[in-house]
């Protein structure tokens, strides 16, 4: 019985951390309206993709899917960075401190809310686990991922299709880069 309660608290902590990350994901786009520099926008997108891959990693015991997603997104960001850097190379970057303080204040208040929530863990447990079906589902999900065959549970029925899609996209990326480099050895700015 003691193991069951410990397991229940671990699940609750995991979901509280996931909720904190999701709140940060909701707060990040609020600063987009005032940003006019593409490099800062790429930095925010990079932080966004790191948080999304961390949330994917919380749901899956195998971190392969989140790692592949992160690598594909980083490859796209590198292309975006080169493209934007060729156009915005002489622009002066201005940094608005008021917006930075506002964003920091929002994150601080959100963290404070979740710390208070963690301190009142028993009440939070009653709210979260009032429905026993939810607890059964969480137990079933965690028991599934204890096996050694973790990659099959990315998408339980379509894991081969997902793996094939990742390999195909990586292969096409290599082929397109080789074709562009050998046929037209120019920079991206000169090709436009």
* pLDDT at 175 > cutoff 70: yes
Helix (H, G, I), strand (E, B) or coil at 61: coil
151 neighbors 163 (Cβ within 8 angstroms): yes
**Proportion of the chain in helix, strand, coil states, percent, rounded to 5:** 80, 0, 20
pLDDT digits (tens, 9 = 90+) for 91-130: 666 767 787 788 788 878 877 877 777 676 655 555 555 4
21 neighbors 54 (Cβ within 8 angstroms): yes
- For residues 72 and 169, give the distance between their C-alpha atoms in angstroms, rounded to a whole number: 9
Closest CA to 66 of 30, 21, 107, 27: 21
Q: Are residues 171 and 130 in the same domain?
A: no
Q: What is the reported pLDDT for 79?
A: 79
Q: What is the pTM of this model?
A: 0.52
Q: Are residues 132 and 53 in the same domain?
A: yes
Q: What is the reported pLDDT for 148?
A: 46
- Which of 113, 130, 147 is the C-terminal boundary of a domain? 147
- For residues 33 and 103, give the distance between their C-alpha atoms in angstroms, rounded to a whole number: 13
Q: Are residues 133 and 162 in the same domain?
A: no
Q: Are residues 28 and 77 in the same domain?
A: yes
Q: What is the reported pLDDT for 70?
A: 84
Q: Are residues 141 and 165 in the same domain?
A: no
168, two tokens = 């195909």
Please tell me the least confidently modeled range out of 74-78, 94-98, 146-150.
146-150
Q: Are residues 72 and 27 in the same domain?
A: yes
Which of 16-25, 92-101, 169-178 has the largest mean confidence? 169-178
Q: What is the reported pLDDT for 124?
A: 54
* pLDDT at 20 > cutoff 80: no
State which residues form the domain around 105.
2-147
Q: How many domains does the chain have?
A: 2
Q: Are residues 44 and 115 in the same domain?
A: yes
Cα dihedral 152/156/160/166 (nearest 10): -90
Q: Are residues 81 and 133 in the same domain?
A: yes
Q: Are residues 67 and 107 in the same domain?
A: yes
75 neighbors 176 (Cβ within 8 angstroms): no
* pLDDT at 137 > cutoff 60: no
Q: Are residues 27 and 77 in the same domain?
A: yes
Q: Are residues 128 and 159 in the same domain?
A: no
pLDDT digits (tens, 9 = 90+) for 31-53: 666 666 777 777 777 877 888 78
Q: Are residues 138 and 172 in the same domain?
A: no
- For residues 187 and 93, give the distance between their C-alpha atoms in angstroms, rounded to a whole number: 24
């Amino acid at each position: 019985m003691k193991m069951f309660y410990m397991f229940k608290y671990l699940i609750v902590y995991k979901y509280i951390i996931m909720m904190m990350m999701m709140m940060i994901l909701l707060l990040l786009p609020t600063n987009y309206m005032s940003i006019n520099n593409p490099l800062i926008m790429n930095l925010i997108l990079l932080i966004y993709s790191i948080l999304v891959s961390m949330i994917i990693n919380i749901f899956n015991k195998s971190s392969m899917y989140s790692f592949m997603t992160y690598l594909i997104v980083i490859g796209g960001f590198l292309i975006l960075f080169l493209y934007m850097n060729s156009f915005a190379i002489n622009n002066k970057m201005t940094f608005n401190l008021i917006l930075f303080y506002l964003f920091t204040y929002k994150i601080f208040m959100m963290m404070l809310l979740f710390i208070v929530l963690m301190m009142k863990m028993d009440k939070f447990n009653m709210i979260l686990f009032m429905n026993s079906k939810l607890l059964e589902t969480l137990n079933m999900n965690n028991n599934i991922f204890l096996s050694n065959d973790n990659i099959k549970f990315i998408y339980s029925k379509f894991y081969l299709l997902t793996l094939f899609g990742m390999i195909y996209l990586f292969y096409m990326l290599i082929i397109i880069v080789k074709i562009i480099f050998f046929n037209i050895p120019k920079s991206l700015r000169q090709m436009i």
